[in-house]
Structure 1
């Protein structure tokens, strides 16, 4: 175990956490159509006898700013996809056109926007918990290296300061992304 490799591991795991937050933010409705709103819906396909993500079953496009179009690769799965979207309770009412599903995106009410902001804050808090977990793991590794005489007392202090600086950097990124998403959700 070497201090630089531990720092790199901590940075990589923190970076991955912030990237996951950005991906989760993509599934939060803002009033605009986006494939990310439905691509992770789990569809039970009776013909295949399995459950699959919607993105694996169909092409998802946004032909208009307030509409999502879903074109299944296999037309026999349209009914399964329709059912899955309704059961996911995303607030969409799919229009089945035979081989294609259209999802009109309804205008968000003020109350619904506030619910979305709460969801954004929950996602952000979850990511901050992960960042603190990464920091703790890094700090624990620093203490192990001190016990193994790889680090001195002073170098342990410097190491912990570097871990804290990384944590602060990624928490700041998470806060900035959260503020931007909240503003996007609340914009009418």
Structure 2
């Protein structure tokens, strides 16, 4: 019966890699005191009747380490883009200069840095939970297969090693991000 069993480890690996990619995206949106175009990725603008990513209504640039600019293509959307940035929760005060919106990145204080490290920790924990859920799916598939004990243990060990590798990568990414945030 074990000849029929084939665990798709490629699928499990791909799903775990997806959790890591999602974590990297969430980490990119966290401010570290340096300007980054990716910090505006989660900001959606109400343009032409639907929520639109900010990079589809203007050009996002980083002309200097503590400044992000958004050059809005449609003059009629400048106010909406400014409003979306103000309401995004990034803690940035936009300044208008014609169709260009300048976003000076303020220095992070110690309290804000600690808050951001906690948020990074929450993002990492949710990624760990995703990886563990994928592990559980794999283990359930193994249990459903009618396998001899030694073969079952081999599959379980492979899934566990994959899980451990991804959890370690999440922990390493978190440590790096927290170091970036706390760096003055």
Q: Give the TM-score taking structure 2 as reference length.
A: 0.95
The equivalent residue for 1:69 is: 69
Q: Give the TM-score taking structure 1 as reference length.
A: 0.93
Alignment of 1:13-162 (within 5 A): 13-45=15-47, 48-146=48-146, 151-162=147-158
1:126-155 CA deviation, whole Å, 9 max, x = no partner? 000000000000001111222xxxx32211
Alignment of 1:148-187 (within 5 A): 151-187=147-183
CA contact (8 A) 1:40 1:55 kept: no
Query: CA offset at residue 2 of structure 1?
Result: 4.5
CA contact (8 A) 1:39 1:60 kept: no
Aligned length: 181
Give the gaps of 5 or more residues in structure 1: none
**Distance (Å, rounded) in 1 between the aligned partners of 2:109 and 2:25:** 24
Q: Which runs of 4+ in 1 moved over 3 A?
A: none
Q: Cα RMSD (Å) of the superposition? A: 1.2
**Distance (Å, rounded) in 1 between the aligned partners of 2:148 and 2:37:** 52
CA contact (8 A) 2:37 2:61 kept: yes
**Distance (Å, rounded) in 2 between the aligned partners of 1:153 and 1:72:** 63
